[in-house]
Structure 1
Amino acid sequence: MKFDLVIAGVGGQGNILASQVIAKCAMDAGYNVVNTETKGAAQRGGSVLSHVRIADGEIYSPLVPQGQADILLGFEPLEALRYINMLSKNGTYIINTAPVPTILSNLKVDEYPSQEQMLAAIQEKGISGHFINATQAAKDLGNVLNTNVIMLGAFTAISDILPADTILNKLLSMVKPKFHEGNIKAFNCGRTMIKA
């Protein structure tokens, strides 16, 4: 068994926590796991790409090779577009459609593409997947910081690599109890968004 996941987003979106939850669950299940990130000025809204590699045999590289990821979780649409070629032809994606414009685009130095342009470019790749507005869903639940938890819940709706309740319980063990109720709602919301 071999499973490769990449999570593309920007600093502050919580994709590192999401990747660590999945990696720790896989380790608890007895798999060999490698989890690493490549970051660019992450704390300032720079690009963050998390790699999670799970196998029952040897893993020879911490980085998922181009065109080999089974799933791409795109926490931000432009970052998802930037890394869509990481997916295998048989892979699938879940992409949060809410943009996080870069500092340069806010300063009008760089042009941030329209949502329609980004989604069309992703669809042109001919890979199947799901577009959800996880950011808006998190806002509707009362805490935009739960966007990553919605994406984590959505992941469990398309992947049976690890049981959903195992992933949720691991997440809850890694955050303060005062956040548990909101995290449970967000996680279940993500699952529902995919199943709908």
Structure 2
Amino acid sequence: MTGRSLARGVPAPEADRGGYRVDTGSDSEHCRWVFAAPSSNLSALAREINQPGWLIKLCGKDEMLRRLLPDGWHLHAPAFFMQSGTWPAARALPAGYRCETSVVGSVAHVAVFCDDGDMAASGYAAETGTAFVFDRIVTAPAHRRRGLGAGVMAALRATRTRPDIPELLVATDEGRYLYQRLGWRVLSPYATAEFAA
């Protein structure tokens, strides 16, 4: 969680109710709580929340989180907490694309541009003392299936200063297949719920 907060420029997570709270403060999300396992604290928190923008996340399956919530909550699309394994050899970007990398403090940003100057793919990563966390790996629809996502990941990985720490990310269901092709494995489903009534 600390790596994600760094990558997004939001406050560091704070221990709260047996999980961790991050005050994200964006237009669509005021706050999120992340729990490593089901607990009565999670259920009690959900009963206190009565407006959108306050998210509860659980390292577990959607149905596990659903059982802990009162009425008025809906689940977001499934996601997966993943860790890298053996990476394939890095490949050059296809002709017509160029990659730019910037590192500010412990946060790296990679952008892939096509010849007309449009951004075709991008991503972020943050390195903490205990993990290297990838975040917001995105390829524009018109540029998918050309290896750009893998190129972004390889360029971000090249900014690491500590090869001994694990590489982590949270993937969408669609993104999971890209990462599995790159040698990543699922550590846990990652369920998200938001009050919607």
Normalised to the residue count of structure 2, the TM-score between the two structures is 0.35
Which of the pair has the greater relative contact order for Cα pairs under 8 Å at 6+ separation? Answer: 2
Normalised to the residue count of structure 1, the TM-score between the two structures is 0.35
- Higher percent of residues as strand: 2
- Higher Cα radius of gyration: 2
